[in-house]
Amino acid sequence: AQRVTQPEKLLSVFKGAPVELKCNYSYSGSPELFWYVQYSRQRLQLLLRHISRESIKGFTADLNKGETSFHLKKPFAQEEDSAMYYCALYNFNKFYFGSGTKLNVKP
């Protein structure tokens, strides 16, 4: 069963434009949601998690339990945001990644 869905394989925006990377999940209970990011020639790393309720590099994500979504947003995209973004879910010693969205920020 697909537990974490990222519907867009590729998202291209211009510098300065708002960006939203979509993530939907299907899991009962109260899972924890995360966004991981992999920049070019770097390792996969944690960007943010919903329980921290923090903004990292201008990105925020709100957990919407009604819509079972955890979309990643940034009001003004920068070229250095270009990367592969993975949504992930944790519940009861299980951890699931989505298939990822490649964000391309054009100058």
For other proteins, which is the closer residue by CB, 83 or 100?
A: 100
What lies within 8 Å, CB to CB, of 26 at 6+ separation is 1, 2, 3, 5, 68
Asked whether position 21 contacts other proteins by CB under 8 A, the answer is no
Question: What residues numbered 23-62 form the site for other proteins, per CB under 8 A?
Answer: 32, 34, 36, 43-46, 49
Applying CB under 8 A, among 68, 90, 102, 104 the residue interacting with other proteins is 90
Asked whether position 94 contacts other proteins by CB under 8 A, the answer is yes
DSSP string, 35-81: EEEE-TTS--EEEEEGGG---BTTBEE--BTTTTB--EEESS--GGG
Asked whether position 95 contacts other proteins by CB under 8 A, the answer is yes
Give the span between the Cα atoms of 91 and 70, in whole angstroms. 15
6 within 8 A of 98, measured Cβ to Cβ: yes
Asked whether position 83 contacts other proteins by CB under 8 A, the answer is no
Asked whether position 105 contacts other proteins by CB under 8 A, the answer is no
Chain residues in the site for other proteins (CB under 8 A): 4, 9, 32, 34, 36, 43-46, 49, 86, 88, 90, 93-100
